Structure 1
């Protein structure tokens, strides 16, 4: 289904029954990257997946991303589905920023937070000239699209990145869906825009931590794949300490934990109860 948020059609998939959990994937990923996890959750949870603007099947982004904007986007998706009760919010990679921001800005709507090999920035500062950065990024995306690079290289680039981000195995996503999403300049432009504003979003989240506490009744879990190396694992552990979260080191697993270890991701979401 599609719901319109901020003038942009958002692709949303909801399935299962029970308390709501929202799954949000990392930079340039799509709703189907959660496919291995969903069958483990659907008997116990109403599982909501959505594509951010410029990702998956959603429309192109109209405005640059922000931590607050992405938190409110999650809330708007839940509103569109009539899900007004507390939800478990799950963020992978850059979407970990969004999940944490949601918990801080919508504490009454947060049942729990699960950060899946989340992005970590301990000392981010907002880069200068954000409007210029946005304009240059849009121009670059348009130029690359006009050259036909997404159609020529997009699906194979997606496959290569997924292979490199796992401990073993290739990309399990259906070939037709990969072509449908990654052959478009829309997805390229969406990924470039999120990457350009990555540090600004991280800096905004650090500011939120200073004056918007996490809801005390909502447990936080940080999952870290060991394939990122000792330094990455240490940073993930530091994030857990910062947030007062439960920390779990998952091995063997790469950055795409939901593909390498869907069982571990599902257990964290279910609170080891199902």
Structure 2
């Protein structure tokens, strides 16, 4: 597993969303290190520079992975703030619920929300289809030919204004091109993303079950991205994020303007949310 640990002080774990990598947290990590935090970033199997994924993930398994990582780094005795983006929000919440004595706070950065997850096909069928598609895509040479370009296009579309602003508008992919090529030209990353996506609804259902069985005792923050428009989908997503915060008893904060990749659009706000997560202050919505 590829891990980057830097800085000193109270530990923070940053976990990226589906098909993202450790370097997508670069700006946030730099701010946190400067503020006196030990920042731990890692790539889940099949992501970034980590070894290929061999099995679909589970919420409990990812929580255990974070705990094991902290143990390996000699941070097992410290309370940690865990921040998860998108699907990794499920993993961060699972860690906070399963390891309450090791959690200082949890921050869900535009985290995934599934109120009633339902799967139409058995897990073995979905997993098998994901593996087959991953092998076919790799054999066809698509990652090598198109991988970095797809990554850049998806990042641009997932940033505030990315769907409307022209190239060169400041909403491009800030990741180093050599690292993007190194990661996204390989079939390993695309196979890992497909496999993780195949179990998305299973992980969501598992988190719902954990909420019923394991209270969330650590302070929590839901940081939602909002692009500032009056478009229906944007407002509906904001409402779902607010409902999530209410459901788990978290502080709700809006990052505006920001799209799904909040850590790229509003790194200072993400860093501030992490730094203040264990001291949430008055209840209610904060905008910045």
What TM-score, normalized by structure 2, do the two folds share? 0.89
What pairs with 1:25-40 in structure 2 (closer than 5 Å)?
A: 25-40=16-31
Distance 1:256 1:127 in 2: 29
Report the counterpart of residue 124 of structure 1 in structure 2: 117
Distance 1:48 1:156 in 2: 28
Q: Offset at 1:63? A: 1.3
Q: Offset at 1:133? A: 1.6
SS at match of 2:12: strand
Q: Offset at 1:61? A: 0.9
Asked if 1:24 is matched to 2:24, the reply is no
SS at match of 1:58: coil
Report the counterpart of residue 62 of structure 2 in structure 1: 70
Distance 1:103 1:172 in 2: 31
Report the counterpart of residue 282 of structure 2 in structure 1: none
Distance 1:190 1:79 in 2: 25
Report the counterpart of residue 88 of structure 2 in structure 1: 95
Q: Offset at 1:127? A: 4.8
Contact 2:55 2:195 in 1 (8 A): no
| Range with greater deviation from structure 2 (117-126 or 251-260) | 117-126
SS at match of 1:35: helix
Equivalent of residue 83 in structure 1, options 75, 89, 111: 75
What TM-score, normalized by structure 1, do the two folds share? 0.93
Moved over 6 A (4+): none
Distance 2:123 2:40 in 1: 32
Q: Offset at 1:89? A: 0.3
Distance 1:127 1:53 in 2: 26
Report the counterpart of residue 4 of structure 1 in structure 2: none
Contact 1:182 1:188 in 2 (8 A): yes
Alignment gaps of 5+ in structure 1: 1-9
CA RMSD of aligned residues (A): 1.2
SS at match of 1:13: strand
Report the counterpart of residue 7 of structure 1 in structure 2: none
Report the counterpart of residue 220 of structure 1 in structure 2: 220
Equivalent of residue 271 in structure 1, options 264, 276, 279: 276
Contact 2:83 2:106 in 1 (8 A): yes
Deviations 1:196-237, CA, capped at 9 Å, x for gaps: 11001000110111111112xx21000011126100000000
Distance 2:220 2:79 in 1: 14
SS at match of 2:178: helix
Asked if 1:209 is matched to 2:214, the reply is no
Distance 2:119 2:210 in 1: 13
SS at match of 1:247: strand
Q: Offset at 1:128? A: 3.8
Asked if 1:139 is matched to 2:132, the reply is yes
Distance 2:155 2:136 in 1: 25
Contact 1:120 1:239 in 2 (8 A): yes
